[in-house]
């Protein structure tokens, strides 16, 4: 079972800052930064996947076009 971003952030901050009550302010800041970075990475990943899908579609279209040209030449 995958962990939620919030669970990952909590685990990260506890590993980094420990569980001492006096470190709570630092953990809170670190959690917010972790979650902001996580969200930014998701958005970047989404853009990258969309770009990949566009290139893959262009390659497929070109392959179909070239195959069609080859089929026409054989007739």
* Model confidence pLDDT, tens digit, residues 26-59: 999 999 999 999 999 998 999 999 999 999 999 9
**pLDDT at residue 74 in the model:** 67
Local structure of residue 7 (DSSP, 8 states): H
Cα 56 vs. chain centroid, distance in angstroms?
18
What element of type H or E holds 36? helix 24-74
pLDDT above 80 (res 64): yes
Torsion over CA of 6, 12, 15 and 19, rounded to 10 degrees? -30
Q: Output the pTM of the full model.
A: 0.58
What element of type H or E holds 23? none
Beta strands in 1-75 (DSSP E): none
């Amino acid at each position: 079972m995958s962990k939620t971003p919030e669970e990952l952030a909590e685990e990260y901050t506890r590993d980094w800052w420990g569980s001492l009550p006096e470190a709570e302010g630092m953990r809170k800041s670190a959690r917010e930064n972790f979650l902001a970075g996580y969200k930014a990475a998701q958005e970047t990943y989404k853009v990258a996947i969309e770009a990949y899908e566009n290139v893959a579609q262009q390659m497929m279209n070109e392959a179909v076009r070239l195959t069609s040209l080859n089929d026409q030449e054989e007739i």
